[in-house]
Amino acid sequence: MKRLVVVPGSFDPPTNGHVDIISRASKLFDSVIVLVSKNTLKKSLFSTEERVEMLQEIFHNYKNITVDVCDSLVAVYAKEKGAVALVRGLRNTGDYSYESEIWHVNRTINSALETVFLPASNKFSAIRSSSIRELALYNQDVSLFVPPVVALKIKQLKNA
Ligand code: ADP
């Protein structure tokens, strides 16, 4: 049986931490869907379409990674696709508390759905999208924390 997993998130913007988790998931499972949640926040940096495009560009060399958009519940989407699990990255105990609550909710919707937690790699464990948005807002260099395509897009935002 082919094992498909879904890596859901807002990815606003995608960071090196996300890339690390997604590429590690692609080595563990047969295929990976990176699922971009439609942003309901007014203060999002990038539109859903832009986030999808950046992720497609980042993973274009990975044959088993695709990118999709979700406008329903992630657990429902995963059931429809026949995914065996969601994959989430854990940076710290705060992430764990939050994620374990979500896991319980997801199980009520899709009782077969597992969640696999991958610990953040040391060098990425302090990176979060909200910090990148903040740095971008104040025109700071973010190239240490995000893939080149994202850094370029952020530069273009500044010049727009
Ligand atoms: P959310 O919007 O739910 O906070 P994100 O879109 O920021 O989620 O991230 C999606 C997933 O990536 C989550 O599982 C999150 O824990 C994980 N993640 C985010 N940043 C990192 C990082 N630096 N290292 C590892 N995992 C991360």
42 is catalytic: yes
Banded model confidence at residue 42, pLDDT cuts 50, 70, 90: low
CA distances from 137 to 12, 59, 109, 154 (A): 13, 26, 38, 9
Q: What is the pLDDT of residues 91-107, one digit of tens each?
A: 999 999 999 999 999 99
Say how many C-beta atoms besides its own lie within 10 A of residue 73's C-beta.
Answer: 15
Angle, in degrees to the nearest 10, between helices 148-159 and 48-58 = 140
Q: Given 2, 27, 42, 104, which residue is catalytic? A: 42
The predicted structure's pLDDT at residue 26: 98
Q: What is the pLDDT of residues 54-67, one digit of tens each?
A: 999 999 999 999 99
Q: Using the predicted structure, report yes or no on whether residue 17 has a pLDDT greater than 80.
A: yes
Q: Using the predicted structure, report yes or no on whether residue 119 has a pLDDT greater than 90.
A: yes
Q: Using the predicted structure, report yes or no on whether residue 39 has a pLDDT greater than 90.
A: no
Task: Quote the tokens at residue 82.
Answer: 């026949």
What percent of the chain has pLDDT above 90? 91
Strands (E), the chain: 4-9, 31-37, 65-70, 85-90, 114-119
Task: Quote the tokens at residue 155.
Answer: 């530069």
18 is catalytic: yes
Mean pLDDT (whole number) for 26-44? 89
Q: Using the predicted structure, report yes or no on whether residue 22 has a pLDDT greater than 70.
A: yes
For residues 107 and 74, the answer to whether their CB atoms sit within 8 Å is no
Q: How far is the CA of 17 from the centre of ligand 1 (A)?
A: 7
The predicted structure's pLDDT at residue 123: 95
Mean pLDDT (the chain) is 94
51 is catalytic: no
